[in-house]
Structures are given as C-alpha cells and as structure tokens.
Structure 1
Amino acid sequence: MTLPFILIIPAVLAVILAAVLTAEIHRELHTFCVTRYDVSSEKLPDGADVKILFLSDLHDCCYGENNDRLFQAVKEEHPDLILVGGDMLVGKKGCAYENALALLKRLPSVCPVVYANGNHEQRMKEAPEIYDSSYDDYKSELLDCGITLLENESIRIPMPDGTVFAVHGLELPVSTYLKFRKAPVKKRDLERRLGSPQADAYNILLAHNPAYMDACKDWGADLILSGHLHGGLVRIPGIGGIITPQGFLFPKYCGEMRREGNQTVIVSRGLGSHTLNIRLFNVPEVVSIRIRMKTKKSL
C-alpha cells in the first residue's frame, strides 16, 4: 500500500532537513572564524590601544598542514599579546598533541604568549600514574618555545603604550569538572591560589570553566576569559548554547561577551571538539579583543 501523498511530503522534508543539518555540522567542524570584540576601561592610560588574541579548546584539531590556516589567521590580526585558555590537547591516554604543538610553537614568533591550563591538561598533571610523563613533556615543549605557563600564577606584562596587564592563570582541580555537579568554588578559593588583583594594573583572569563565573567576578578581575563549553555544542540564535560538558542546560556564560558593571566576561566557543563531535550554529572561533582607554564619549 502506498502512503498518501500528504504523508510523503513531511517525510521528504524531514530527510532534506536532516541532510542540510548534517552538512552544516560537517562544515562547522572543519572551519573557524575570527570573532572581534571591543573592550574599554578607565584603568588604561591615555591613548591605550592593545589587541589581544584568545585561543581556547583546540583539542589537537588541525586546520591545514601544521595548523597553517589557523596560524595565518593569528598573524593577520597583528596581536600585541596572545592568551591561551587551556584544553589545546586531548587529555586521554595515548592521544597525541602534535597538531596543538605545531600551532603553539609558532605563536611566540608573533608576540608574547601566556598559557593557562584547562581540565584536559589538569587531568594529565594530576594523574602521572595514568599519563606517565605526558604533562611534564608537554609543559617542557611549551616553555622551550618561549610560552609562559601560569599554574595558579600571575605575571605583569607592560605594553609599549604604557598599559600594564596583570595576567592571572587560575588552575582548579579536576574534581571541579565532574558531570552533573558544581563544586562550591568561591572568591576565597581564588584568593588562596592567586592572591588579590593588582591595583595598579588591568587584571585579566584566565579561568577555563565559566561555571564558576560568580567567584571569578567576586575576585575582582577587569576581564575574565573562559572557554570549556565549546559554545554549548548547539546554539539557538537569540538564546545561546544548549548544554555544557557537565550536563547543565542553557548556561548563562557560554560563547559571547558580557559587560557587567566595570567587568567584562568573554567566553570562547573554542576551536575544536572531542568525544561529542557536534557543532551547529556554533562555528569555532579565534577571539580578537581590542582593549582601549574609555573616553568620556564611551561612558
């Protein structure tokens, strides 16, 4: 018995829609964009105008041979400082990280590079009995090529225009990344690891997991940079990401910039994927941030 024509039409449309969405997911998993934000602050000196690139969550993905497409995109932005927010590799036993290193080793030729760990690096660091010397080897590669690695540490970076950045790399234990739960991370936990923000500098906090954004804001950073959520895997226009790696729905901070009082929060959608290789309306991104002195006109 043949189906009535009125039933065939929805079936055909469903097949076409599935094919279109599958093609779009494939496209987004193999490309990236540059997302540009403007940030202003009264804490910067007269004439301050600095460009920062933020890279996060590459997960050893590769865009062209030796990640050349990605490196060229970085160069074309002419950044003054590159900040790396962690999870550039995949923290699983036997997983290689050559694609990540192929990019990272070239970055110091562009400008200074500061790196803070994500949960994948932290996993390797905390369990040498599983990962052998993988973390130490990876760390050595980063340091040997001139990258500054912050493990619950801070660094002052003076810029030619008189701007002074204090960059802080927050490192939280793997237990704060468990599925379907949030750890009770508070301001005091950041103070124990990092001390206090520096009053005479513009404070940038690299905090991989935006699930603890309230604590990061309470700590007092001027700019907070996070990743981890991969944009929520699937994004709904006007709403944002749908789900986090920890299983929470519709996270507030997921793949955008928010200004909250005198603080700015930027969460990268990341550059790669792993395990759940899904991206829909959620193109991977290099985040380019132009930071300038706030003028009376912008108040």
Structure 2
Amino acid sequence: MKIAIALVLLIVLLMAILEIRRELRIFQVTHYLIASPKLNTFSGERKIVFLSDLHDQQYGKHNAELLNAIKKEEPWLILIGGDMMISKEGKNFELAREFVAQLPAIAPVYYANGNHEQRVKEFPKRYQMDFTLYRQELEALGVIFLENETVTLEKDQVRIQLTGLEIPVENYQHLRMPPLALSEIEERIGQAKDGYNILLAHNPAYVEVYKDWGADLILSGHFHGGIIRIPGMRGLIIPGFGKYKRYSGSVYLDGDKRIVVSRGLGNHTVKLRLFNKAEVITLHLQGKEGIMDKVKN
C-alpha cells in the first residue's frame, strides 16, 4: 500500500514538473468584456490589449510569437502596466526596449511603470541602467509614458481619462504592504476627472483606494497570478500571505467598476508557474451590460 501511494505521488510530482516546464514557455490570450453606461455611445466595441510583467521573457525570436498574437487582436490601444524589464544588478533594458519598440506599429502605446522601472529610475547607480535613455528611445518611436500623468482620449463622444499611477517604492515590500491613503494618490495624480477613468496602477494591493479615487477600470499586475493556482481558486503565492489573494489575477466586478489583474507574461526570481499560464489580455469595451471571461489558448 505504501509503495502504491509513493508511486502515485511520484507520478503526480513528475506531471507537475512537466506542466511547470510547459507553462514557462507558453502564454494565452484572455478576453474580458468591460461594460459601462459611460461607454453607451460607443459604436460597437473598442479593443484594448493590456500587457504586464514581461520581465525580459521571450516568446520566439525577437518575441515574434507574442507580437503576432497582439497584431491578431487588432487593438485600438495597447496599454502597458509595467515591469517589462528586470531591475537587478547585471541586467539591462535591451530586451524590454526591443519588444516595446515594435508595438507602436500595431496601435498607440501608453506605458505606466511598474516597480522594476521605478526602481531603475530612482536608483540608476544601483542598477547601472539609465531609465531616462530607455524612455527617450521609446518616446522617439511613439510610446507615451504616463508617470503620474493623465491623457484624455475622445472616441464616439466618450471622454476616456487614461492615468498612469506610480506609488512609493516602499509600497512594494514583500512581507508588509504599508498603508496608502487616498490623499497620497491625489497628491500624485490629482482627483479623477469627468469621463470614463482608466487607471494603470501596477500594484493591486491598493485596489480599494483606487476605487475610492474614482477609477472606472483598474488595470494592475505585479502578483503574477499567484504563481501557483488551484483550478477554480485564487493564486497561492503572493506578497502579504493571503491578505491580497482576492486580486491575484482575473477580472473583478464592483457595481459599475471593473478591476483587471494580469497574471503577467514573464517571471523573475521564482521561475515557476502551475495552472497559471502567462497571458495577453484583450479588453472589449462596450456600453451594453455584461461580462465575458473567455480564454483562447
């Protein structure tokens, strides 16, 4: 009996290892329908591709597989939620720059920083990377960075306010998330403006504050889907040991508000994914009511 149990456990372990190796090499396209009365004048729908947490991952030569998947979506906009690079000694931003540089040929690109870009920007000597150069090179190709900034987009009589939020670096601690007050957010990006407010905010630990600020659609990442997911449940491994598991990676509804947390496209430090495929997210913005969670492999 003990031998049989040990054999079963060994088979399960081997299958898990094989699945982890597979998931580290693939990604999927996840579709969410985002509905709001504020979008009622849209003629049809507007598709937005949301990318987060690439961390220098490559899918094919020069990320050709990833770029082809994005092109196939034919997006109206491409929004980046941060962490395209890895802020670590001995790393550089070349892989991130090469990938992002190819996106403006597909659709307009708006880029909000994650904690990795922010650390490189604030501590250039520590990481031996020049974030100013990275930004300038991509801006020259048409990428628009939103560092505590808002742009207004007009489409079909809808005024979309697109904001990129940077929170203090200390709010990215692994074991303890310091509080973040609404007043601190408003000091950085001001109050929410009239229209449909999309907030690119990398860290989903502060979703409740983002909602209080007035965001209609919150786009986050950072938690990598919880690394390991039990089907039908939330991610298991995220900062805070469970306090923030509600927002580990999916779409969440709160009245007319929508929160989308990407499971990310890459990995760093802990190179592990189980039942938690990397993803490109396509948002289908519509005025009618409804919600869709459809996965394409």
Question: Normalization by structure 1: what TM-score?
Answer: 0.93
Give the whole-Å Cα distance in 1 for the aligned partners of 2:133 and 2:30. Answer: 32
| Cα 1:250/1:196, change in 2 over 3 Å | closer
Give the match's secondary structure for 2:271.
coil
Quick one: higher RCO (CA 8 Å, sep 6+), 1 or 2?
2
Q: Distance in 2 between the 1:116 and 1:183 partners?
A: 21
Aligned residue among 24, 49, 56 for 1:60? 56
How far did 1:148 drift?
A: 0.4
1:134 matched to 2:123? The reply is no
Counterparts of 2:7 and 2:134, CA distance in 1: 50
For residue 186 of structure 2, the aligned residue among 188, 191, 195 is 191
Moved over 6 A (4+): none
Partners in 1 of 2:268 and 2:256 — Cα distance? 35
The aligned counterpart of 1:219 is: 213
> What secondary structure sits across from 1:236 in the alignment?
coil
Deviation of the 1:259 alpha carbon? 1.1
- The code of the aligned residue for 2:140 comes to D
Give 1:43 shift: 0.8
Q: 58-67 or 189-198: which moved more?
A: 189-198
Distance 2:206 2:231 in 1: 24
2:18 alignment partner in structure 1 = 23
Is residue 235–residue 249 contact of structure 2 (8 Å, CA) maintained in 1?
Answer: yes
Q: CA deviation at 1:44?
A: 1.7
Q: Could you list the per-position Cα deviations for residues 225-258 of structure 1 after superposition, in whole angstroms to 9, with x for gaps in the alignment?
A: 0000000000112221012145546611011101
- The CA deviation string for residues 111-154 of structure 1, in whole angstroms up to 9 with x for no partner, is 11000000001111111221344212221222121100011111
The letter of the residue matching 1:164 is R
- Number of the residue aligned with 1:3: none
Once the two structures are TM-superposed, the CA of residue 46 in structure 1 deviates from its matched residue by: 2.2
SS of equivalent residue, structure 2 residue 8: helix
Against the structure 1 CA distance between its residues 134 and 245, is the aligned structure 2 distance closer, same or farther, given a 3 Å change threshold?
A: farther
> Which amino acid in the other structure matches residue 19 of structure 1?
L
Query: C-alpha separation between the residues in 2 aligned to 1:20 and 1:277?
Result: 17
Match of 1:78 among 57, 60, 74: 74
Please say which of residues 142-151 and 93-102 is displaced more in the overlay. 93-102
Q: Are the equivalent residues in 1 in contact too, given 2:224–2:264 (CA < 8 A)?
A: yes
Q: By how many angstroms is 1:99 displaced?
A: 2.5
Match of residue 294 from structure 2: none
Q: Is contact 2:250–2:260 with CA below 8 Å preserved after alignment?
A: yes
- Cα pair 2:200 2:219 within 8 Å, conserved: yes
Give CA deviations for 1:27-53 in whole Å, capped at 9, x if unaligned: 111000000000111112424421111
Q: 1:196-244, CA deviations, whole angstroms, 9 ceiling, x for partnerless residues?
A: 1111x21100000000111101101110000000000001122210121
Given that 2:56 and 2:95 are in contact with CA atoms closer than 8 Å, whether structure 1 keeps it comes out as: yes
Residue 178 of structure 1 pairs with residue 170 of structure 2: no
Instruction: Determine what percentage of the aligned residue pairs are the same residue.
Output: 45
